[in-house]
Structure 1
Amino acid sequence: MFTDTHLEGFRRDGCAVVADFISPEQVSVLRQRIKELLSSFDPSNHPLTTFETGQSQDSHIGDQYFFDSADKTSFFLEEGAIDSSNGQLTVDSHRAINKIGHGLHLTEPLFAELTHSDKVKDIANRLEYQDPRVLQSMIICKQPGIGGAVPWHQDSTFLFTQPFSACGFWLALEDCTLENGCLEYIPGSHLTTPVTRRFVRKADNSGTEMVDIAPTTEPLSREAGIPLQVKAGSLVLINGQVLHRSSHNYSSKSRWIYTFHIVEGTAEYDKRNWLQMPASAELTKLL
């Protein structure tokens, strides 16, 4: 399914869309499991940890629940789902969830099967990964009305390796439109925009912070993003260095997706990265 044309476009633009990567039947099965997970969320038994989208440079997520999520099914809330005055939910609990992660490829059989499918392995091989490792698998719900905007960013800022090697697999489980906050990206920015920061755990493990890793350069004009309006079942492949974002979802329709990343196992993935597997485990081999 990943053709030479897809590969050429991915290398040139930093993104490629593969339509009908999974069937409508697979989409339906995965959506049903998401509904079950959302229904299982009991706010009385979970920390009400919100997922900060990065709009505020001084506010970054980093509690222990977040740090411990690499091999678990954890629930993170939309920022708009919590009343800041009393810490209570402002919407029904199932609609409060921003994302479920970050270890679904380990804890959820349906998502593990998809992540380790032959189609995914074929793409990793065609991208010439020697030892692809899976990390940060998650469902992102982009809830109707309150689904937060995600500003321009590069995934390698958050999934840092030396050399850079992150690649995102982003699977639409609903139609993604401008109205409900589809992805937008800047073609070719992976070739022109250096990664100048990385997202790390603080030295005392009290949270996270952004640190500079290279001199900052004059920012690229970021108003010319190309929207990726895709149908359910489509795969968007995202180079870890390409600039991309998504807008706030003010519509009445959610935007459910499943996404995971791979990095090169032969690259250095150090202990400063926010996402760490338990001491007894390693990042999951794809092949």
Structure 2
Amino acid sequence: MGIVGNLNPEQLQAFHSQGFLVIDSFSSPEEIDGMRKQMDQLLDEFNSSTVSIFSTKNQKKLTDDYFYESAEKISFFFEEKAFDDNGNLKQPKQLSINKVGHALHEFDPVFSKLSRSEKISSLFSSLGYKRPVIMQSMYIFKQPGIGGEVVPHQDNSFIYTDPPSCTGLWLALEDATIVNGCLWAIPGSHKNGLVRRFYRNEEGVHFDRPSPDYDQKQFVPLEVKAGSLVVIHGDLIHQSFENQSPKSRHALSLHIVDTEGCKWAPDNWIRRKVEPEPLYNS
């Protein structure tokens, strides 16, 4: 198959049919170890006196400047359940962080190396992208016991172009299981189109309509080993549950759009001052 990122016809057919594709052993143990050690260092250097809680349920908590500015920085977001009634962390910051984002791929050399690797570029070439740009990157921790739920959603809701072009990459840095909060998806749900938009205006960030009710029986678990990559269509309905286990579930998430033939929506929450560099120009 050549370069790891090149998708063969069977993989492309599976992706277009299911709306997701799992590529085993996409990243080596050495790459994973390097990213985890780099994140340990970033956390050690982080001053936790600046607190911003990440929530996928109460979007009003996302409207502060810290969140907006994270589009072009490396910012740290805590779990909702990390604090006591007095606003103090219940445990060390390393076990309290929900995620780090949203520009690791631009400002950290270790994460930039993976994000801009030939295997990532060749994957998007296989998908037919002409000028792919990484719009956000996140290191997600899914902490033991407090790792929060991510409700059913579509990536195109948050990272919108006209026409829609977002593809998500979800790289497991630890084994992801039903027990510690793996991804769940509704196969084929991407064929039904975009359900709702998440947009930003002078009043903050909002969804343009309520979330539909989903039949949980339609979701299938995506249990994967560390090093596996899940490629996610922008309209795929997917979610993850709380991590109530004693084991974390670290992952790296990237969201990529095509900037040739697709217009970035001005009411997206991400408003870049500097246009990011494309992975390649076709």
TM-score range relative to shorter protein: over 0.9
SS at match of 1:29: helix
How many pairs were matched up? 274
Percent of aligned pairs sharing the same letter:
41
Cross-structure match for 1:221: 215
Cross-structure match for 1:65: 66
Tell me how far apart the structure 2 counterparts of residues 283 and 14 of structure 1 sit (CA, whole Å). Answer: 26
Once the two structures are TM-superposed, the CA of residue 179 in structure 1 deviates from its matched residue by 0.7
Once the two structures are TM-superposed, the CA of residue 145 in structure 1 deviates from its matched residue by 0.4
Determine which of 37, 47, 53 is the counterpart of 2:42.
37
Q: 1:51 and 2:44 equivalent?
A: no
TM-score (norm. length: structure 1): 0.91
Residues 1-287 of structure 1 aligned to structure 2 (within 5 Å)? 1=4, 2-44=7-49, 46=50, 48-54=51-57, 56=58, 59-83=60-84, 85-192=85-192, 194-204=193-203, 207-212=204-209, 219-266=213-260, 267-278=262-273, 281-287=274-280
Contact 1:157 1:199 in 2 (8 A): yes
State the one-letter code of the partner of 2:271: Q
Listed one character per residue, the Cα deviations across residues 215-265 of structure 1 (whole Å, up to 9, x for unaligned) are x89755343211111000000000010000001000111110011111010
TM-score (norm. length: structure 2): 0.92
State the one-letter code of the partner of 2:75: S
Tell me how far apart the structure 2 counterparts of residues 13 and 59 of structure 1 sit (CA, whole Å). Answer: 33
SS at match of 2:217: coil
State the one-letter code of the partner of 2:41: E
Gaps of 5+ in 1: none
SS at match of 2:170: strand
Listed one character per residue, the Cα deviations across residues 12-51 of structure 1 (whole Å, up to 9, x for unaligned) are 101000000011111111111111122222212x2x1011
* Structure 1 consecutive aligned stretches of length 4 or more whose deviation exceeds 4 Å: 216-220
Once the two structures are TM-superposed, the CA of residue 135 in structure 1 deviates from its matched residue by 1.1
Gaps of 5+ in 2: none
Once the two structures are TM-superposed, the CA of residue 109 in structure 1 deviates from its matched residue by 0.7
Once the two structures are TM-superposed, the CA of residue 121 in structure 1 deviates from its matched residue by 0.7
Q: CA RMSD in A?
A: 1.6
